[in-house]
Amino acid sequence: MDESPVTEAVATDSTAGAFEPKIVAFLCNWCSYAGADLAGISRIQYPPSIRVIRVPCSGRVDPFFILKALQNGADGVLVSGCHPGDCHYLTGNYVARRRFAVLNDLLEFAGIDPGRVSFSWVSAAEGERFAEVVRDVTEKVRQLGPNKKLLKEEVA
Amino acid sequence: MSREEQLRKRAKELLAKKEVVMVICYRAGKRPGTATPAFVTRPDGADSLVFDDRCGMNLAAYLPRVKHLGRIAVVAKGCDSRSLVTLLKEKQVTRDQLLILGVGCEGVKEKGKLSDACATCAYPNPVICDEMIGEKVTEPPPAPDPLADFEKLTPDERWQVLADDVSRCIRCYACRQVCPNCYCPTCFVDTNSPQWVGKTTAESDNMMFHLMRAMHMAGRCVECGSCSRGCPMGIDLMRFNRKVAKIVKERFGATAGLVPDEPPALAAFDPGDKQEFIQ
Amino acid sequence: MSDSGKVGAVLVVGGGIGGVQTALDLGDSGYKVYLVERASAIGGVMAMLDKTFPTNDCSMCILSPKLVAAGRHENIELMTQTEVLGVSGEPGNLKVRLKRYARSVDLAKCTGCGDCLTKCPVRDLPNEFEGGLSKRRAIYRMYAQAVPNAPTIDRTQCLKFTRDKCGACQKSCKAGAIDYTQQDEEIEVEVGSIVVAAGSKIAPTGLRPEYGHGRYPNVVTSLEYERILSASGPYSGHVKRPSDGKEPKRIAWLQCVGSRDDSVERGYCSAMCCMYAVKEAVITKEHAKHVEPAVFYMDMRSYGKDFDKYVERAEQQYGVRLVRARVAEVREDPETKNLVLRFAGDGGQRSQEFDMVVLSCGFVPPPELIELSKRLDFELDKYGFAATDQWGPIATTRDGVSVAGSFAQPMAIPEAVTGASGAAAAAEEVLAAERGKLAAVKEVPAETDVRGEAPRIGVFVCHCGINIGGVVRVPEVTEYARSLPHVVFAEENLYSCSGDTQEKIKDRIREHRLNRVVVASCSPRTHEPLFQATVTEAGLNPHLFAMTNIRDQCSWVHMKEPDKATEKSKDLVKMAVARALRLKPLPKVKLPVTKAGLVVGGGVAGMTSALALAGEGFDVFLVEQEKTLGGNARTIATTVEGDDVKARLEELVGKVTSHPRIKVYSGARIKAIDGFVGNFQTTLQREERGERREESLKHGAVVVATGAQYRTPTEYGYGQSDRVLSQKELEEILSGSRQSPVAIRQSQSIVMIQCVGSRDEERPYCSRICCAEAVKNGLKVKEVNPDADIYVLYRDIRTYGLREEYYRQARQKGVVFIRYSPEQKPEVRIEDGKPLVSVFDPILGQPVELSPDLLVLSSGLVPQAGSDELAKMLKVPLNADGFFLEAHMKLRPVDFATEGVFMAGLCHFPKFIDEAAAQAKAAAGRAATILSRDTLEAEATVASVNPDRCSACHMCEGLCAYRAIEVKTINERTGKQAAVVNEALCKGCGACAANCRSLAIDIRGFQAENISREIAALLD
């Protein structure tokens, strides 16, 4: 078989010069990570803003992970797990949802702009939805601009 | 016989009959107008016990450290009793290790005026006790939401107020010391690998500390105010605690420290929990 | 050979997904397997598919790990370019003669580098794998991920063989693997059993010359279209038409090409074309939004689990147009090369123009199998499929020879995989005593102790052909990886998953003394196990491996932004390296296995499973809640094929109750199931002599076969007149076990309504069996009373597969089929105790009034009561409709995600007896992969507790869905309490860890430390 030639990828990087946020995304292995895989398999295009950290379950996501990301300079954080009732570990996302609710409200209270930290449920079959969530989260963070609150300034 | 006299008499009795090995109560502090926790193990020690509006420290905080000695009698205001409930939920003490001497409380004075925490107290009487010393006090009418004004500020203003406040934190951990909920063998601020919270007093590290401390209070803090009163820098720590208590109440219908058999709010879930914040 | 005279080896003929699954199950259960494949690589038809329905999984992505696993399995010997010549001997001891054709490439020497592929001067041969849409050379590799990965030489075209010239490939081969002197050879192997999984082929388009395939370039077959859609196909996944390479706007799919067509002696339905056509239309829409797809069909046969929902989504969300019409002819406009379809539609003859036409070709048995069946001495049916039995759909007419996959009848992948595991079970039943005798002892090199060593990280960056390399600048990412701290080696690979790259990775680990390995390629969900196995073979603990996904998360989703995709890939590599830095070798936990199985449910599926398990040599506990065995089959007289169900059921019950290894507990209820794979403990409750007794059973695996229930209708006057019956009640009347309100002989007219309470909002699934039941009972009524008028009011007739035959018979005998739409359902009123039916007949174009003597409602199946309770006990999921949900719809159709638990029969989804029996055997085959072992290794990525930090607050206990963590006194002297993890129960979800205020709990493999470093690395 002839190995086909590399298709030319046209350099049309969009939004050149605009603020490109870095968003840390914690995705559960079974649903949202699989949803991201499906977005890939389906070639659904979305902004190159997220950096995925795979976790077994949204229940694994410690509030520390989220705050640490903001502290270290992430412009946004996305946490995504299975839809309620779909958790591979039965109830991990229910447990997580209470914790996320408290964190979400507490961060809002503390003046962290809404949209800086987002939560979503994306199933393994929702490739398009995953892309939509990333687009949406990216747009929100882009509107907010670079994260300054909680950012740990480099000690010279 | 005044309530204080009743208290001394009962403490003496319990120790004399060896029904308990220790009575935890208060005695007058070195500085005038203050009281300090008292750990009395001999009947004659009971004579110096006091109970009045100087007695703010949450006595439940000491139980995890002394419970191994035997059965302990604790003097408990509304807030102390609720902290005991939290400790019971978390199995830090068992009910039979405790003899709860309940006291009604009209509020703790701080520098001559009613402590902030007490101004909004909804549970001045013990929610759990073995015997009451003196009468219960009248339940106050519901207080207005102390966070209302703050929550009206813009996000940036809120951040600024909190940042200014926590920037004063010198990381002395007095708040942790006085809190009955803080009994971890190693506090998260002291762990490494990973070191989640930087040890500096930079705004970011201080905020991380106070936000995570608040997270750990969710569903557990009974808003006794010990941390705020204990803070040498006068940081309004109660603001965080009140917020998490409010969240837990509004979202999950739960109030900390009321029912020993119910799991803490964050150790439970309801499939129908509100999730409007999730996309 | 052993004392018994039997041989603990099995010959599997056919290297498609069916054969591969059989081989893997047998290999895992301790048998030597010879996997024989005529082509130069295994993979079969599934390797050619782009996506699979209904999950839209990438076919190659889910298949490839299985192919690689088969290729590297210590008990499986791959024999490609090999065919069977003949067999002699008795079941248990067979001698098979094979012919191995010369590949002209030495498999032992070839590295799969592909250098030879570009040097061959013969470059214009049609590439068969790509449906002729691209060219290949005389030396070629069947497809990029081929297993084995070595190329082969087409001796009919190679100049060396045709003209004794050239030799370019040999000159280019640095490994010296090209060997023109190789000869075809005959070999003989000894086996105990044979499984034929020879698959099927798509129907030749010559069957419908009027559709113009071969004459009109823009008419393609469905399989060719799969290649067009495939990212690794001839057009790199761009939807183009062959004539001019332009994107088509209007694409038509024509169904039933070479299927349901007596005129070409293909009377059967090919069972999967409706779904694959809708899938192709959906995927097309995902590739190119402006395309307008239309599917021309007769009946939409979306009868499988979640299929109807899929079709509905295709229509509603993707705008796929479904046109109920059979196309008479396709004509090409010679100028535009567009295609004009003529078909009968609403209002007579219509024609419509399309840019491209896809022929949904049916499936036919490979013609060469006629020869194979003679050589192996088993019978074929009239179409050339292997003749099998309804109750043992795996057995051929020759003892010791089983059949798996679509060589038995047309079937989709899950059924093929199910049959494959069932065939493995059948072989094991013959060879139970020989288990392990010929199995290789797995040689895993001793684990290198890396503790105390400074990290030495190796990074492998994958091109994935052009899938990654076409967008991401892989060399730049590799160079960047090399610059990261502790990275001592980095290189790029064309396909990191190929067999030769695996070898290369092992070499690099040894050469560079790597103690951590990072692969930047595709999804760890599909490929992590493969790489973990590879590093293990090089002496590293499998958890010293980190993977990052620069394909699904970079090249595929940022295709137009190569710079940013490259930058993002670098970030992801940096993060993976940071994670790798602190990876620790994780200990293996070994657990003993109780070699007994529990089967829940004593219907046909449960009993078949129990017998198979017992036959494989394991003790079985069969639990049935009713007092008698048999389940739903007790109410069935015959199958549509005419099998006497009653007699067969009696025979089955007899075998089960008399089997020395099977203990039947009837009238028993399961109270609790504790434990985990290999070590379950089940508490049973049952009444015995008026006393309630409890009993505890120990077993290593569970088969759930709890069945389903016939739904009692509530609509169309049921209950208001004794003349309104359910289909099940008619069946009982016909078998004589129920009195009819009007004797069948005297009935002048019978109306049946299909899809009663099925395929609606409340129950959006098809019950699969009702169409064939209606056909069967219609035929029976006709037998008794040929003059009766029978009307079947239907939405789609779904007599898929070989059952189509009976639909045809019913029409021939005069049964009238009237289609209704869900918007215009039939209306029934009861007058004077008699039903009156009115329905709109789309052919007459007007309503029809019927006053039948009997109205029969096909009201489908509903999930078994109590399924949710059992699901909770077993910690397994149900789907939205309430049926048990398998681990993967395509490739793990009888497994649950929870290890050691399997399913069979109607509890999974409505199905026929033969399908239930096949699934039951399959469950036994899968269970054997566990029960055959003496010990199992538990999950390594579980929670661990640092007791010094634990405050014993008990928070974690309440959060654990598996009850795997518990606060205990860990030091009696000091009374110190701390949480303790039961590693066998823990699934590693991390709910406890994330809620631990004291930071005492961590998750192995997902340590807080690693995640923290990953975050820090990204943002530093």
Instruction: Name the residue ranges covered by the structural domains of chain C.
Output: 1-100+184-200+366-444, 102-183, 201-364, 457-581, 592-707+864-935, 711-860, 942-1003
Q: Which residue of chain C has the CA closest to A37? A: C552
| C221, C133 contact by CB (below 8 A) | no
Rounded CA-CA distance C611/C656 in Å is: 6
Residue C377, pLDDT > 80, answer yes
Considering B76, B100, B132, which residue would you say is the last residue of a domain?
B132
Contacts of A52 in chain C (CB under 8 A): 549, 553, 572
From C469, C961, C994, residue closest to A62, measured CB to CB: C994
Tens digits of residue pLDDT in B31-83: 888 899 999 999 999 999 999 998 999 999 999 889 889 999 999 999 999 99
Residue C602, pLDDT > 70, answer yes
The average pLDDT across A2-26 equals: 60
Predicted local distance difference test score (pLDDT) of residue A154? 62
More confident residue, A82 or B213: B213
Helix residue spans in C349-464 (DSSP H): 369-376, 413-430
Chains near B, with 3+ CB pairs < 8 A?
A: A, C
Predicted local distance difference test score (pLDDT) of residue A72? 92
The average pLDDT across B225-250 equals: 95
Rounded to a whole number, what is the distance in Å from the CA of A118 to chain C's nearest CA? 17
Rounded to a whole number, what is the distance in Å from the CA of B248 to chain A's nearest CA? 7
Contacts of B251 in chain A (CB under 8 A): 98, 101-102, 105
Structural tokens at position B277: 């914040």
Rounded CA-CA distance A142/A113 in Å is: 12
State how beta strands C327-332 and C339-345 pair.
antiparallel
Residue of A32, A60, A80 to mutate, testing the C interface (most C Cβ within 10 Å of its Cβ): A60
The average pLDDT across A97-101 equals: 96
- Average pLDDT, rounded, for chain C: 92
* C855 DSSP β-pair partners: C724, C751
Selection from C864, C867, C903 nearest residue C887 by Cα? C903
The average pLDDT across C741-745 equals: 92
Tens digits of residue pLDDT in C73-116: 989 999 999 999 999 999 899 999 999 999 999 998 786 667 78
Is B249 contained in some domain?
yes
Q: Enumerate residues 6+ apart whose C-beta is below 8 A from C689.
A: none
The average pLDDT across C5-21 equals: 96
| C487, C137 contact by CB (below 8 A) | no
Q: Enumerate residues 6+ apart whose C-beta is below 8 A from C56.
A: A38, A41, A42, A125, A127, C279, C282, C283
Rounded CA-CA distance C666/B268 in Å is: 39
Residues B42 and B120 in one domain: yes
**Maximum pairwise Cα distance, chain A:** 61
Torsion angle in degrees (nearest 10) through CA of C919, C925, C926, C931: 140
Structural tokens at position B30: 């070195």
From C952, C975, C1009, residue closest to B91, measured CB to CB: C952
Sheet containing C457-462: order of strands:
C487-493, C457-462, C516-521, C545-549
Predicted local distance difference test score (pLDDT) of residue C19? 97
Rounded CA-CA distance B225/C63 in Å is: 61
Q: Do domains C457-581 and C942-1003 have the same CATH topology?
A: no
CATH architecture of C942-1003: 2-Layer Sandwich (3.30)
State how beta strands C152-153 and C139-140 pair.
antiparallel
Tens digits of residue pLDDT in C32-44: 999 999 999 999 9
Contact flag B267-C959 (C-beta cutoff 8 Å): yes
Residue B33 belongs to domain spanning: 3-132
Is B142 contained in some domain?
no
Q: What percent of chain B has pLDDT over 90?
A: 86
Structural tokens at position C492: 């790029």
CATH class of C711-860: alpha beta
Residues B156 and B104 in one domain: no
Residues B168 and B256 in one domain: yes
Residue C248, pLDDT > 90, answer yes
Residues B266 and B201 in one domain: yes
CATH architecture of C457-581: 3-Layer(aba) Sandwich (3.40)
From A22, A45, A125, residue closest to C558, measured CB to CB: A45
Q: What percent of chain B has pLDDT over 70?
A: 100
Contacts of B268 in chain A (CB under 8 A): 98
Is B64 contained in some domain?
yes
More confident residue, B90 or C56: B90
Predicted local distance difference test score (pLDDT) of residue C269? 96
**Maximum pairwise Cα distance, chain B:** 64
The mean-pLDDT minimum among A120-129, B227-236, C247-256 falls in: A120-129
Considering B108, B132, B156, which residue would you say is the last residue of a domain?
B132
Q: Enumerate residues 6+ apart whose C-beta is below 8 A from C989.
A: A56, A57, A59, A60, A88, A89, A92, C961
The mean-pLDDT minimum among A82-96, C532-546, C597-611, C906-920 falls in: A82-96
The average pLDDT across C924-953 equals: 92
Residue A2, pLDDT > 50, answer no
The pLDDT confidence band at residue C175, using thresholds 50, 70 and 90, is: confident
Rg value, chain A, Cα: 17
Count the helix, strand and coil residues of chain B and give each as a percent rounded to the nearest 5.
40, 10, 50
Query: With an 8 Å Cβ cutoff, is B149 touching chain A?
Result: no
Tell me whether residue C695 is exposed, middle or buried, using C-beta atoms within 10 angstroms of its C-beta: 0 to 12, 13 to 18, 19 or more.
middle
Q: Enumerate residues 6+ apart whose C-beta is below 8 A from C872.
A: none
The pLDDT confidence band at residue A12, using thresholds 50, 70 and 90, is: very low
Residues B35 and B115 in one domain: yes
Tell me whether residue C433 is exposed, middle or buried, using C-beta atoms within 10 angstroms of its C-beta: 0 to 12, 13 to 18, 19 or more.
middle
The pLDDT confidence band at residue C2, using thresholds 50, 70 and 90, is: low
Residues B113 and B202 in one domain: no
Contact flag B266-A102 (C-beta cutoff 8 Å): yes
Residue C803, pLDDT > 50, answer yes
To the question of domain C592-707+864-935 being in CATH 3.90.1640.10, the answer is no
Is B110 contained in some domain?
yes
Considering B75, B102, B132, which residue would you say is the last residue of a domain?
B132
Kindly list the structural domains of chain A, giving each domain's residue range(s) and its CATH number in brackets, ordered by start.
Answer: 23-144 (3.40.50)
Residue B195, pLDDT > 60, answer yes
The pLDDT confidence band at residue C495, using thresholds 50, 70 and 90, is: confident
Q: Is the peptide bond before C148 cis (omega within 30 degrees of 0)?
A: yes
Tens digits of residue pLDDT in B6-39: 999 999 999 999 999 999 999 998 888 889 999 9
Full-model pTM: 0.75
The mean-pLDDT minimum among C117-126, C338-347, C970-979 falls in: C338-347
Contacts of A33 in chain C (CB under 8 A): 523, 525
Which CATH number is associated with domain C102-183?
3.30.70
From A67, A101, A113, residue closest to B251, measured CB to CB: A101
Contacts of B193 in chain C (CB under 8 A): 1009
Residue of A7, A19, A31, A41 to mutate, testing the C interface (most C Cβ within 10 Å of its Cβ): A41
Residue C693, pLDDT > 50, answer yes
Structural tokens at position C533: 């196995």
| C916, C605 contact by CB (below 8 A) | yes
The pLDDT confidence band at residue C451, using thresholds 50, 70 and 90, is: confident
The average pLDDT across C580-588 equals: 90
Predicted local distance difference test score (pLDDT) of residue C111? 67
Contact flag B279-A133 (C-beta cutoff 8 Å): yes
Predicted local distance difference test score (pLDDT) of residue A17? 61
Which CATH number is associated with domain C1-100+184-200+366-444?
3.50.50.60
DSSP state of C53: T
Predicted local distance difference test score (pLDDT) of residue C904? 97
Predicted local distance difference test score (pLDDT) of residue C347? 66
Rounded CA-CA distance B76/B61 in Å is: 11
Residues B116 and B217 in one domain: no
Rounded CA-CA distance C295/C254 in Å is: 6
More confident residue, C603 or C899: C603
Domains of chain B: total = 2
| Residue C96: other Cβ atoms inside 10 A | 23
* C902 DSSP β-pair partners: C703, C895
Contacts of A67 in chain B (CB under 8 A): 208, 211-212
Tens digits of residue pLDDT in C812-831: 999 999 999 999 999 999 99
C-alpha pair distances (Å), C509 with each of A94, B224, C502, C547: 42, 59, 11, 16
Which CATH number is associated with domain C201-364?
3.50.50.60
Predicted local distance difference test score (pLDDT) of residue A155? 47
Residue A19, pLDDT > 80, answer yes
| C429, C615 contact by CB (below 8 A) | yes
The pLDDT confidence band at residue C794, using thresholds 50, 70 and 90, is: very high
Predicted local distance difference test score (pLDDT) of residue C496? 85
